[in-house]
Amino acid sequence: MMATKQTISEYTAQALKGYAGEEFEGLYTSPMHAAHSVGKFLASNGRAEPRDCWAGRGDTFHTNGMQFRLRWNSYKYPTITRES
């Protein structure tokens, strides 16, 4: 599935909420939770706020020109690593 402008804006809005430290409301198994988690990760590592967020294949997520892999060792708090 290609990321559309609508889904990119939805993911970006959710990532910005995570960046701002807001609590996630929704399904923890959804891509929106992944976006929220990446936003939280960016804030905790002192990076710029998220822009142009989209879900990639498998457990990858893209934002700010970077690719992140989410490892769901805990359904609520994934381990996030930067791939590129």
* pTM confidence score: 0.88
Residues of the chain above pLDDT 90, percent: 62
- Confirm if 80 and 70 have CB atoms less than 8 A apart: yes
- Confirm if 84 and 67 have CB atoms less than 8 A apart: yes
Which residues contact residue 33 at a Cβ distance below 8 angstroms, ignoring those fewer than 6 apart? 24, 26, 27
Q: What confidence score (pLDDT) does residue 38 get?
A: 95
Q: Which residues constitute the domain of residue 64?
A: 5-82
Q: What confidence score (pLDDT) does residue 4 get?
A: 77
- What gap in Å lies between CA 60 and CA 71, rounded to an integer? 9
How many separate domains does the chain show? Answer: 1
pLDDT tens profile 42-81: 999 999 999 999 998 888 999 999 999 999 887 778 888 8
- What gap in Å lies between CA 70 and CA 79, rounded to an integer? 6
Other CB atoms within 10 Å distance of the CB of residue 14: 25
